[in-house]
């Protein structure tokens, strides 16, 4: 059914594209929000990505690859937005988990540390981490979605995880001004 919608939208059917876009809207927004870490920017990115999708749809060769193609457009749009801004806002929006669970102070602290570490990643690294761990794609699927070699996806993921680990370790160390010599 999706293939038929993609083919109809490729031929200029606005209603078919609307069905495709509305079916992918929630996943697309979640992907953009995870990469950009900003609600307003994510909404802008989705709008821009869907405009790019509508304009680029006639060039899509394989209608069965629509989802991967749309993911790539969203990631590229997010990357473009990050690069065009001199600095991302420091607003932190906590994403509520689907399953209610007790939340104590240490888990909030852990989330804050992860958020700070995630903000230090380059856009390309963010995209790989989000697609791998939040969307749940395998490494070959991540590489395919981003149209990069599998080795590049693996390398980006490796360096992203190292950067996150270093950020967490740096946060765990006491600040130099807080260390006092005991006499």
Contact call for residues 143 and 152 (beta carbons, < 8 A): yes
DSSP for 26-69 reads HHHHHHHHHHH--HHHHHHHHHHHHHHHHHHGGG-S-GGGHHHH
Residue 4 and residue 158: Cα distance in Å, rounded? 39
Q: Are 83 and 158 members of one domain?
A: no
Picking from 61, 80, 96, the residue at the C-terminal end of a domain is: 96
Instruction: Give the pLDDT confidence score for residue 73 in this predicted structure.
Output: 93
pTM of the model: 0.64
Q: Are 21 and 86 members of one domain?
A: yes
Query: How do residues 43-83 score in pLDDT, each as one tens digit?
Result: 999 999 999 999 999 988 899 999 999 999 999 999 888 88
Residue 179 pLDDT > 80: no
Residue 75: CATH number of its domain:
1.10.1740.10
How many structural domains comprise the chain?
2
Picking from 61, 96, 131, the residue at the C-terminal end of a domain is: 96
Residue 134: CATH number of its domain:
1.10.10.10
Query: How do residues 101-138 score in pLDDT, each as one tens digit?
Result: 554 555 666 777 778 788 888 888 888 998 898 888 89
Q: Which domain does 39 fall in, by range?
A: 1-96
**Residue 107, class by beta-carbon neighbours within 10 Å (0-12 exposed, 13-18 middle, 19+ buried)?**
exposed
């Amino acid at each position: 059914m999706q293939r038929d919608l993609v083919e109809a939208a490729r031929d200029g059917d606005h209603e078919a594209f609307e069905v495709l876009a509305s079916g992918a809207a929630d996943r697309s927004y979640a992907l953009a929000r995870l990469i950009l870490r900003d609600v307003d920017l994510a909404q802008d990115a989705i709008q821009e990505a869907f405009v790019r999708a509508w304009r680029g749809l006639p060039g899509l060769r394989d209608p069965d690859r629509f989802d991967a193609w749309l993911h790539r457009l969203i990631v590229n749009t997010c990357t473009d937005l990050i690069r065009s801004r001199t600095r991302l806002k420091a607003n932190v929006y906590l994403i509520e988990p689907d399953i209610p669970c007790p939340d104590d102070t240490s888990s909030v602290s852990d989330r804050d540390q992860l958020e700070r570490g995630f903000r230090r990643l380059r856009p390309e690294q963010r995209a790989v981490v989000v697609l791998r761990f939040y969307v749940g794609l395998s490494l070959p699927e991540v590489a395919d979605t981003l149209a990069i070699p599998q080795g590049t996806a693996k390398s980006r993921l490796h360096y992203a995880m190292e950067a996150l680990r270093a950020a967490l370790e740096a946060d765990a160390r006491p600040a130099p001004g807080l260390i006092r010599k005991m006499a």
